Structure formats: structure tokens, C-alpha cells
Structure 1
Amino acid sequence: MAKGGDSRLAVDPATGLNHYGCSHRPRPWAITFASSTASSISERGYAGAEAARRRLILCALRDGWHPGAMALTDDVRARIGRHFGVDAAHVVLAPSGTDCELVALALARRHGRPVTNVLIAAEETGSGVPLAAAGRHFSNETARGAPVGRGRLLDGIDTAADVYSVPIRTDAGCERDPAAIDAECMAIVRAQQAAARHVLIHRLDLSKTGLLAPGLACLKALGGTSDVVVDACQARIDPERVRDYLDRGWMVMVTGSKFYTGPPFAGALLLPPALAAALRTGPMPPGLGAYVAPGDWPGRGFPPDGPANVGLALRWAAACAEMDALTALPRATVRDRIDGFIGAMRSSIATRPSFRLLPTSAPDRPWLPDAWDDRQTIVSFLVGHGTEDGWRPLDLAAARSVYRWLNADLAPVLRQHGIAASPAIASRLCHIGQPVPVPAAGAQGGIAGALRMSAGARLVSGEPSHAGLAPQTRLAREHADARLVLDKIDLILTAWDVLQAADPAPGFMPADRTC
């Protein structure tokens, strides 16, 4: 499962973790509220991936490795299709949402006109998205291991797409007026169409801090004159709404590695029928062959050879196990468990002097019975300290240090310097969402790092080992774990100078624990 992504999936032998601070082995001793970024695999996900691996081996022994790998890929696409209620032939696998961006752009080029790509809050999406949106390589190596030059145009794309990014927050870090976002998007689209360019416009559903834009009315007003791709890579969305997007003729990007808490690098592009047909038969830039493995694109032999991306299929198999567990619960149960967690988190943060909640509106969605995706599932907050000039939030670099040290056993360093701390707090490994840069008065350089704790599918469904716990007992334990994360942040602020000098590294397990 550490193959078929990019270098960020590589496990550091010194820590046992990858770039995201998580593992492809379960870490039941770690507190995990990191589904806005990436999560260590769950017990259920690991069992799902292992079951898929065994089916692959049996099929390979019977029919050969390539047919076995194709069968595994087809099964994963079918499971994703069932979950979202779409035909498996309309599911395109990709290692990440950024890879999906390249496919969406390639489809937008089918009209033969120069393309303008309109992004929403590029700073709150994947770091490589602006490059991919222009038709450029976003890394020096693809998931297939092909060497490419970051920033160079893909073969077959002679002219880069023009890229516009519409901000979703003000210079002060507050949410922009939705009407202003819609008006800016509309102005860009109309101006680009007047210049005889074809427009690919994004609907961000949701950003890294849980924001949604532009509005449905804005996109509807375009009247089908532009291609629309919905960036739903956070997957904090009911499948019924995904089907509605597809019925409108829009593309939808999803992942199994955010809300569903599967391993990182599990993406998919869901296509409406007309665009699925265009993908099967239309010309595609040859440079995409460096990104696509056999079986990723249904009904098309592109590329014609090479190995299947088994790592991607296994990561999706893990995510599908979590998707199935969530689907088995009534919507009302999902809603109530998320509401309970988010409410408890906000209340706890509000009582702590070093914390400030980042105000974030609930997603503005059409009514759906017992909906859970019309409320926030991500709690974003700033951490800081008081000064003579008032409260000052940590800048992005300092917030990244907090994020790293949360996932480290701090007890050895604190003991060495004679700092008293509860081992239950100092040694507990806590994994949360990576900091997001947000404008903030008082922060060094004017940019603070917003930390994030999220309600993911695993919080709602629990783990197989939780089967003996009453739901309320289990959820109370989750709430207590969330408070412990905040306690550890307070401890980090107290011992800041010592920790900054030592810079303890995250680890797969606490220092005093053995396998």
C-alpha cells in the first residue's frame, strides 16, 4: 500500500511513518482526528485490504498476475460505483485529486479551444493543483514511477491553460461573502468566453477548512456553456448529492483517504455519461500515459502496457471497507454522532485561553432528510499566546511544529529537562490535520497556521474491536481523546523553548512501547 503514489508515501525507517505522519499499519494507541489530511489505516481498513490481497493472490495463481490485478482494479471501481450510485464504467481511478485534475483538464480540451481553468481557494486544496490545472507536471515523478519535470507541460499539451484562483477568505482570514465569490467567478467566466476560450470551473466541496463555493445558482446560470468539476476530495458529502452533480453533467473528484479515513493517495474521478464516452474514445494527451496504469480508465487501453497500480487498488479496498460500514448506519445516526463530537470540540476549545476557533459556516446545501453533510465536520482553530499587544497566533511554521510534536512521545525530552508532565498526555501520540495557512492579524508575516481536528467515518462507525462497547461509551471515549489532544497542545506551549531545541520526531509508537 506504500506503492503507486509518490515519495510522500515512503516510510521513514527512523520513524515508521510516511510524510503525512501516518502508517499503513494500524496504530490503535494513537489518537487520530486527521481525516482532513490523512490517517493511519484502521483495523477495518487493514482487514479490507488484506481480504483484497488474498483475492488477488488466488486469482493470480489461477489466471496469472495481470488478470488478477485487473480483476482487483475492476472490483474496486465497482465498489466505488455502488457507494456513489454510478456505473463502474464511469469511475476513473487516480492516486490523488491532483492526478484527477489532469484528467479533468484533458477532457475540457476536447472542444479544441484554449482552456481557462478557474480554481476556488487554491491555498485550501492540494499543493500541486495549480500546476496540474495548467496542464503541467506537479512533481518530478509520477505514481507510475515515470521521471517528469515538475512545472513542464505534459506531452501533447502545447499551451498551458490559463489558471485563475478565486479566494474564499478575506485578507483578514474571514470567509468572503458568497455573493462576492459568485460574482467574481461569473465575471471571469464571461470574460474568458468572450475571448473565445473554453472554461473549466471548479466547485470546491469542501475546502481544507470546510468551506463551499461557488453557489449552485452561480453555476446553473452558466447554462452548460462551461465544464464544471466538483472538487469533493474531502468526501464530506452524501452520495445522493454526488449523483445530483453527475446528473447535471458535472465531473466529481473524490478520495477515499480523507473523510473515509482510508490510506493516503486513493483518488477517483466520477464522470457523467457523456464525458465517460469522451474519455473512452476521444484523443488524450500522450503525457497522461505517465500517470495512468492499465485498468484505471474503464473501457480504454491507455496506457496499453505496464503493471496495474495494485497499491492504489489496495488503498481503495481499505477505504471501501470504511465506506460500507458508514453506509450501514442510518443518516440520522451519522448526523447525531458528528454533531456530538463537533459540539464537544467547540465547547472545549472555547474555554481555553490559548485557542481561538476559526469561524466557518455550515455548507449551504439543498435540504436532504436527516442530512449530516450540511453541518461542519472539521474544527479549525488557531493556537497562540498573550503579549503586551494582545493575543498573538502562531505563524504557519510554528503551527507545523505543534502538529509534528503532537505525534511524538514528548516524555523523554521533558524528563531530561526536569519538566513535570502527565505521562498520559506527554507520551500519547496524537495525529490531527496539517496546518492550513490563513491570514491573521498579529501572526508573523500576517499568516497563521490553522490546526484542524475532524470527524471522519471511523469516528462514526467505530472499529471492529469496539464491538463490545455501547455506542455512547465509545463516543464518550472519543470526546475524551479529543480533549487530551488539546491538553497536549497546552503542554507544548508551556515547554516551547525546550521542545524547539530538541525537536522530537513523530514515531509509530511511544518510546516505552514495544511491538
Structure 2
Amino acid sequence: MLLCNFGEKLIIAEIINSCPLPSLVVKFLEILAMVSFSKSATKYMLVNSILISAVRSSSSFSITKASKTMSKSSIFSRFGGFNFCNKSTNLAATRSLSTSEQYTEDAIGMAKKFNFDQFESLLTTGGDDRSLILPESGANKYHIRPVPIESHQIFRGSCTGNPPTKSAFEATKKFYEENLESIQSCQLDSALRDIFKEQRERLKKYLDLPEGAEVIIAPSGSDAEYLPIAIAKALHPDKKIVNGVTQLNEIGAGTAPASTGKFFSKYAPFLGDHGLDYLEGFDGIEGIVVGARNKDGSVVDAAQKMDEFEKEQIALGNYPIVHAVFGGKTGLRDTVMPSSIDKGDTSMAIVDACQGRFTLAEMKEWMDNDAIVLFTASKFFQAPPFCAAVIIPPSIAEKLSTADAPKEMLGANGLLGFVTDKELPSCMDSWKPYLNDDAINNVGLALRWQAGLYSMEKLESISDDERTALVDEWAAKVKNMVEENPNIDLFCVERSITSIRMAKDGDTSQWLNMGEARDLFRWMSLDVSEVVPDATEEEKKALATSGFIGQPVSVSEDFAIVRIALGVDSLYAYSQDKASTLAEDQMLVNKLGAIAKHFSTLKASGL
């Protein structure tokens, strides 16, 4: 007997619609779909028996593809008996990690060309183009590799993207070897279901979320933007959804397009190179985007603009989603974190806390304000790029638990291109039949979250108050270092992110623009000492140091900045050995100053 893993009328209807069954069998299934059983296993066994009989009695019976609403794979991929366990088909051998198997295999192949092993290569899968290993560099677009940095390298780029920390890498690799490396492909769906459930519970515990709050696991902060839209549609299916986003240029580049339902990358986790513009079912989503700064670099009052937007849309009878950013690329925080009006009945508030630089008290306040929070473990907490979560407050989770699914948004070219039912909490059970596909398994995401949670839990020994004091002390020290260097200038300090602009060739009348700052960003990770013969011995020592910092940000029409950002690993190191940590920061500041001073020489070198 085949053991099926479904139990809803929807699935029975899909079988009837997808398979040319004998008419008598179809009639029996239609009757069965209307019957309620006290134990769902009874229905499973009956349907299995019917299907086996149908297969044996009908020579014309064939297995067809399910509709896009369900998945790209055959509907019978849900039947254990059609996916036999074979001892030779372990995860390492098959690499069947997503619907787009070729995309996953290509990602692994790109990584293995640079001698990354299977585990390391898996860390680059299940995301978008930002995670892929580029053939010209052997690293991703942030110059990051899926392995810990070398002992002689310095890392202060947690505000952009992270290599795994050494301790998290080792812990996650052990987890992979014990739980996933030798698993048979037919067991992967069940294994990941348990892993994601445990990860959601660990995150709820770490963030001290209130009873009734729920967590969705998502591939990245940009991907996470699609989920509040779908939640809004589920709660208000007859209203026009409008989305307001703040801090353009200081949030992820994918946030603005994602906020109106557009694909932000040519790749999607389960679709590969999709060639699509909008997610299926997301057409008609409108919105506004508010910049972070004026042309001169001064801060825009985004909170006021969002308040005006919200009132205007409510007056028009629409349902507004209102964003505020709690720490953009420079650490900039909008002045007001919004509340969902009438607990989400009138508007939905989103707090973008993807940088992860907040206290538990601040998280509690957002939950009390009925705001959905977007969070990642791949910024401050230094998980490999990327892994995110959508945190749903109890009030909205309760409403979701009784709402119908926005099924038009859950197709293969919609949300099923990014998440499956395995990543969803129980309050979204009505969504799960549409997102259920045991052939879609984001192992890379599970591993990245495992690394992030390891680092989060490692920091639990330091209280919020102690952490805040350490960050403030570190930031003050680094601020002084920057101010003492004549070739660079402090732009701003926001908690654990220090933003710096660079004087071109040491001339403070001209600052590096965005293109030039990108060159500097690349050179920071390289030994460039040999191409600057005029550098002093101290400068050559700095120029020879490989350091990773936060990527450039365009904050003004006249200049760009780069960032030195404390992350979980460097914060923990600072708590244990302040002098050694600050010595690393001093070396990075020295290198920034040396590159700025000798910028034209470096540019002429062709590096």
C-alpha cells in the first residue's frame, strides 16, 4: 500500500483533474472528498487503495503534471511509494535541492570549480544571484567565499554579507554531516520539515517573542517582502493593497521592486533563471518609495511621509502596508516605528530590522504595536548570505489562522518559487496544501539558518545592556581612529556601523564617488602593497592586509561612503580581548586612509 502525505479535499480534486481515472473511481473519489473521517489516515488508506486498483485495472492510466498552483513536479511525487528510497541516492549524490535541479547543480558546480566541497557549495544554493560564486573571482558579488576567512584576514563587513564565522562553520558542518549528508532523497522533505520547525522555535526563544507570535523562514530579506503582501491579501482579499517603503538606497536593492510584487533578481530560489517580471498573482500591487537622504546627504523625514501615505490610502478605501527601517545600510533608523491600525484590520505596519541591530526591548515594543518584523541572521549575526525571517505578531497570526489562503499568489511562479509549506508556521495551515512539494527542499537555507542561530545563541551569555555598552565603547574608539586619519572623514556612527568617506588622493576637496568607492571596496580585500611604490612602510603594511568591510553606499550626489561594522563574532571577540580587536580596526582604518591617499596610483595599476 502506498502511504500518501495529503488529506485535504483539494488534493483529491487535483488527482481527479490530473489523472484519466476510470469513471467509477472518479465518482468514488468525489464522494470520498465530501466525507469527514475522525482519523485522516483512514482517508489516506482508502485513496491509496483506490489508486492502486485503478493503476492495475486501467492500461490507459498515466501520471501527468499537476497544475502550476500545486507545483512543477508530478502530483505523485507526494506519494512515498513513487519515490523509492535507494541507499545509493543520498543527498551528496543527487543534489535534488529545489524544483530547478539544474539551477542548484549549476550553483554547486560553480562553487566546486574553486575546490569548495559539497557542504561549502550547498551554502551558496537556494538563493539568488547574490549568493552564487562568480567565475571571475571565486567569490560572490560581495567578494565573500562560503568558508571562514583566513587567520590573517580581518572582517568588519557584517552590514553587507558574511563569510561564515569559524565556530559557526564548524558547528553547522557537524550538523550537516550528522543530519543531512547521507540522507536518502525520499527522506529529505520530512527531515527539513523538522529542521525548519526547530529553527523557528529557537528563533522565537532567542528573540523572546510573546505567546502566539509566529515565524516564517525566508531565503533573504528581499524575498521576505513578498510575504506581508500575501498576508495582507489573505486578510483583505477584496481591498487594493498599496505598499509604502522607506530608505531607498539604504535598504537592499531588491526591496523596492519586491514591495510591488516584482522579481528583483533574474534568479529565484526554486525557479532558477526565470525570465519573469512579476510573481504570479501579485499584479496590481502599487506603492511608493521614499528615499533615505536628500541630494546633499541630509536625512529625509520618512516617518512623516509614511504617515501621510497611510492616511491618504485609508481615505481611498485601500489597505496600506507601511514600512519603517530600523537600521539601514549606514545604520540609519526612521524616527517612528509604525503600528498596525486596529490590529491589522485597517493597515499593516512593517518594521524592517534586517540588520539585526536591535534590543529585545525594541522587539517587544514592535510586537505590542502589532507590527510584522522583517529580520535576517545574515547581517549582524553573520550567517552566510542570506537567511531571513518574517515575524508575525500574535494579533495578526490569530487572524491568519482563520483566513483563507491567497491561493492565486501561491503558484509555482508565485510564492512557491521562494518558500514551501515547510518554512511556514501553523497559523498558515490553509496555505500549506498550495505550497506543499516534497521535491522542493532548500537545504542551503537550512544550513545558513543553522549557522546564524549558532552565533545568536553564542551571544546569549552577554545581556542586552552589556552588549549596548560594548557597542557604544567600540564605536567611540573607531570614531577617534577615523578622525585622526587625514585622508578619510567620519560621515556618521549608528550603533555598530561606522560610515566613512574617502578623500581622493588625500585631497579633502574631492571625495570618492560610487564607482571609485567600489574600486576601494575591492582593493580592501586584496594585498595591493606591491603596486604603490611610494607608500611608507606603515602604509605598505596596511595595504598588504586583506580586510572585508561594508560595501559602498551612495549617500549624496557628491560622494559615497564605506562602512566598518561590528558583527556578532567581532563583538564577542571585543568582549574577550578589546586590545586585539581594536588593533584590527586600526589596521582597516589605516588601509582605508592609504588607499584614499594613493587612489590614482592604484587605479593606474589596473588592479
Q: TM-score, normalised by structure 1?
A: 0.84
Q: Which residue of 2 aligns with 1:36?
A: 159
Aligned-residue sequence identity (percent) comes to 24
Q: Which residue of 1 aligns with 2:393?
A: 272
Tell me how far apart the structure 1 counterparts of residues 283 and 299 of structure 2 sit (CA, whole Å).
37
Question: Aligned residue pairs: how many?
Answer: 467
CA offset digits 1:411-463 (Å, max 9, x no partner): 3434xx57554553222111000111111xxxxxx24211111122112213x
In the alignment, which of 435, 440, 443 is matched to residue 303 of structure 1?
A: 435
In the alignment, which of 93, 106, 129 is matched to residue 255 of structure 2?
A: 129
Q: Which residue of 2 aligns with 1:467?
A: none
CA offset digits 1:335-354 (Å, max 9, x no partner): 23212210111111112222
Name structure 2 gaps, 5 residues minimum: 1-122, 427-431
1:144 CA displacement: 1.6
Q: Which residue of 2 aligns with 1:252?
A: 373
| 1:433 paired to 2:550 | yes
In the alignment, which of 503, 508, 512 is matched to residue 384 of structure 1?
A: 503
1:54 is paired with a residue of what secondary structure?
helix
CA offset digits 1:160-204 (Å, max 9, x no partner): x2221223323311234xxx4433222221112222211000021
1:174/1:359 contact within 8 Å kept: no
| 1:186 paired to 2:307 | yes
Tell me how far apart the structure 2 counterparts of residues 88 and 146 of structure 1 sit (CA, whole Å).
35
Tell me how far apart the structure 2 counterparts of residues 66 and 230 of structure 1 sit (CA, whole Å).
32
Q: 1:498 to 1:283 in 2, by over 3 A?
A: same
CA offset digits 1:115-159 (Å, max 9, x no partner): 221111121111011111111111122012344335x22211231
CA offset digits 1:344-389 (Å, max 9, x no partner): 11111112222221135x6xxxxxxxxxxxxx2111111114899x
1:98 CA displacement: 0.8
Q: Which residue of 1 aligns with 2:491?
A: 358
Q: Which residue of 1 aligns with 2:13?
A: none
Write the letter of the residue equivalent to 2:435.
Answer: P
Tell me how far apart the structure 1 counterparts of residues 313 and 340 of structure 2 sit (CA, whole Å).
17
1:16 CA displacement: 3.3
| 1:233 paired to 2:354 | yes
Name structure 1 gaps, 5 residues minimum: 363-375, 440-445, 463-469, 505-515
Per chain length, whose mean CA-contact separation is higher, i.e. which structure has more relative contact order (CA < 8 Å, sep 6+)?
A: 1
Q: 1:220 to 1:313 in 2, by over 3 A?
A: closer
Tell me how far apart the structure 2 counterparts of residues 274 and 59 of structure 1 sit (CA, whole Å).
41
Write the letter of the residue equivalent to 1:144.
Answer: F
| 1:406 paired to 2:524 | yes
* RMSD of Structure 2 on Structure 1 (CA): 2.6
1:96/1:266 contact within 8 Å kept: yes
2:373/2:392 contact within 8 Å kept: yes
1:139/1:148 contact within 8 Å kept: no
Q: 1:146 to 1:494 in 2, by over 3 A?
A: closer
Write the letter of the residue equivalent to 1:42.
Answer: T
1:270 CA displacement: 0.8
Tell me how far apart the structure 2 counterparts of residues 103 and 408 of structure 1 sit (CA, whole Å).
39
Equivalent runs, 1:366-515 vs 2, <5 Å: 376-385=495-504, 391-414=509-532, 421-422=537-538, 424-439=541-556, 446-462=557-573, 471=575, 474-504=577-607
Tell me how far apart the structure 2 counterparts of residues 62 and 396 of structure 1 sit (CA, whole Å).
46
Q: Which residue of 2 aligns with 1:334?
A: 467
In the alignment, which of 133, 144, 167 is matched to residue 291 of structure 2?
A: 167
Q: 1:324 to 1:289 in 2, by over 3 A?
A: same
Runs of 4+ in 1 over 6 A off after TM superposition: 220-223
Write the letter of the residue equivalent to 2:265.
Answer: S
Write the letter of the residue equivalent to 2:282.
Answer: I
Q: Which residue of 2 aligns with 1:4?
A: 126
Structure with bigger gyration radius: 2
Q: Which residue of 2 aligns with 1:100?
A: 224
CA offset digits 1:190-235 (Å, max 9, x no partner): 112222211000021111111221414x647888531001100001
Write the letter of the residue equivalent to 2:171.
Answer: G
2:247/2:292 contact within 8 Å kept: yes
1:359 is paired with a residue of what secondary structure?
strand
